[in-house]
Amino acid sequence: MKCLVIGAGNAGRPVARLLNNQDYDVVITDPKKLSDFKTDVQSILKQMEKEGVILDLGNDDPSIEGIDCVYKAPTLPDSAPIAKKVKEANIKVISNEEFSKMVNDLIPVDIIGITGTMGKTTTTFITTSLFKQAGYKVWACSSLVNNLVSEAIIDGIVKGKAQDCDIAIFELPHGTIGLLNDLSVKIGLLTNIAEDHLSEFGGSLEKYQERKLILEKMSEIFISNNSCRDIISKVRDNAIYYELNKNSSCDFSGVAGDKSLTINYKDNSFTTPFHMMSYFFENSVAASAVALTYGIAEKDIIDALSEFRGLPAHMEDVGEYNGRKVILDSAFLYDGMKITLEYFKDENVVLFLDHFDTLSKRDKKEVGELVGQYVDVIIASGFNEVTQEVEMDAAYEVLDAIENPDATKIACENITDAAELTFKYSKPGDIILHMGPLIAYDRKTTVAKIMEGLKKGSKKYE
């Protein structure tokens, strides 16, 4: 069967790759030329071509001759000429539900799905650690592996990982949920819902919530942060709730101690050594709730959490440079940033920031107002990793909102320069702290750029 995938974006690529793997003759078309895509996407498209997918790129008027079925990217308007041609020709259109069921049939093990605005990557990582400690062979997919998790899932199916595991643990961002909206999930977990990504939903928080709640519909068992109880209770009366709160009446609760974490559930309780900081406490309660609900023993959870030392770019200590400790954190929403800033409030911090817009437009004035309450030196980058353009207005919008009259505020063109300049405005004993969304959006590229700047700055200002 010959299939035309219209759009080589985030939805079209995984669809084309899996259909090709399932013996469809696949053509993927897009008005953009190969060179118009980011370097990492170009690599994915070239790999797909090697596997047998025909690339028809830079084509404004693709042919539908001989095509048996079509997948249309969600962003393709009905008014587009190719959409009209497909409709007039009465060609079968593959829906996201059909594609999702195809994916589901190719995963023979239980799926644990984790979503939320903040904490889903961390919670996925910790949950994976707990199951591995219990002896499970885990197939884990998260934005640590690939920013587009749906591509990571399809890559795993193509490479046989779905057939070579005991359980699948997936981070499910809203884009992946939109594509894979009919999976059979054994346990679904919602970490929280905050006002982010709204520019992708016409500014509607309700539409964003609806997308996240698709996971509830797909899940046999559903666990939610207590902060979302009002939303979840309207659609499900048997949800399980958790929170980090000593006096909680939730099904699972946690109490943070000095290098320890106590988990309370039902009539049981256990305490584990715990060496992490900040938001890791609540995310570990979430992961423990999943593990205990599935049947993992307390001992395995204690052993795993005792050894847990964090994950890349989430309050990650990347070393000491010229007497300055450097911490990389991917916090970019108000609540998450505040937690991080509170943790370092008694330290002398030099802060450098990403461009805060990715696929979503964010309130940069709010960012400036927040960081100005905690930090006296703020360096902001104006480089937008998504558009690959320098947008200095975004950096100035952050800096102009800082009300502290004694603050040192610097705008620069990219994150490498920002990292380099932190040494100019710091001294031995200071904390150099990074925050922003680009590590979550494109971890490999962003961290490489940051490390380049740190090396330059440590030599230039030693």
Q: Is the pLDDT of residue 123 over 70?
A: yes
Q: Among 252, 276, 307, where does a domain finish?
A: 307
> CATH no. for residue 398?
3.90.190.20
If pLDDT is split at 50, 70 and 90, which confidence band does 394 have? very high
Q: Which amino acid is at 261?
A: L
**Same-domain status, 300 and 218:** yes
**Same-domain status, 130 and 275:** yes
Mean pLDDT score, 410-437: 95
Containing structural domain, residue 114: 100-307
**Same-domain status, 51 and 120:** no
Q: Is the pLDDT of residue 3 over 90?
A: yes
pLDDT for res 206: 83
Q: Is the pLDDT of residue 313 over 70?
A: no
**Same-domain status, 340 and 283:** no
Task: Please check whether residue 141 is in contact with residue 171, taking contact to mean a CB–CB distance below 8 angstroms.
Answer: yes
**Same-domain status, 382 and 295:** no
pLDDT for res 141: 93
**Same-domain status, 194 and 236:** yes
How far apart are the C-alpha atoms of 199 and 333, rounded to whole Å? 14
pLDDT tens digits along 56-87: 999 988 999 999 999 999 888 888 999 999 99
Q: Which amino acid is at 217?
A: K
How far apart are the C-alpha atoms of 76 and 402, rounded to whole Å? 40
List the structure tokens of 376. Answer: 């006296």
pLDDT for res 336: 79
Give the Cβ contact number of residue 233 at 10 Å. 12
pLDDT for res 195: 66
Query: Number of structural domains, the chain?
Result: 3
Least confident among 13-17, 115-119, 156-160, 297-301? 115-119
pLDDT for res 85: 92
**Same-domain status, 205 and 119:** yes
**Same-domain status, 45 and 117:** no
**Same-domain status, 384 and 262:** no
DSSP-assigned beta bridge partners for residue 257:
260
Q: Is the pLDDT of residue 29 over 70?
A: yes
Mean pLDDT score, 45-60: 95
> CATH no. for residue 275?
3.40.1190.10
List the structure tokens of 458. Answer: 């440590």
Mean pLDDT score, 215-220: 96
pLDDT for res 207: 86
pLDDT tens digits along 152-179: 999 999 999 999 999 999 999 988 999 9
**Same-domain status, 234 and 145:** yes
Q: pTM of the prediction?
A: 0.77
Q: Is the pLDDT of residue 442 over 80?
A: no
pLDDT for res 329: 87
Give the Cβ contact number of residue 320 at 10 Å. 12
**Same-domain status, 80 and 12:** yes
DSSP-assigned beta bridge partners for residue 190:
115, 224
Q: Which residue has the higher pLDDT, 334 or 19?
A: 19
Q: What string of H, E and C letters represents the secondary structure of the chain?
A: CEEEEECCCCCHHHHHHHHHHCCCEEEEEECCCHHHCCHHHHHHHHHHHHHCCEEEECCCCCCCCCCCEEEECCCCCCCCHHHHHHHHHCCEECCHHHHHHHHHHCCCCEEEEEECCCCHHHHHHHHHHHHHHCCCCEEEECCCCCCCHHHHHHHHHHCCHHHCCCEEEEECCHHHHHHCCCCCEEEEEECCCCCCCHHHHCCCHHHHHHHHCHHHHHEEEEEEEHHHHHHHCCCCCCCEEEEECCCCCCCEEEEEECCEEEEEECCEEEEEECCCCCCHHHHHHHHHHHHHHHCCCHHHHHHHHHHCCCECCECEEEEEECCEEEEECCCCCHHHHHHHHHHCCCCCEEEEECCCCCCCCCCHHHHHHHHCCCCCEEEEECEECCCCEECHHHHHHHHHCCCCCCCEEEEECCHHHHHHHCCCCCCCCCEEEEECCHHHHCHHHHHHHHHHHHHHHHHHCC
Q: Among 94, 114, 141, where does a domain finish?
A: 94
pLDDT tens digits along 227-284: 999 999 999 999 999 999 988 889 999 999 888 999 999 989 999 998 876 678 999 9
Least confident among 20-24, 93-97, 141-145, 374-378? 141-145
**Same-domain status, 132 and 174:** yes
> CATH no. for residue 24?
3.40.50.720
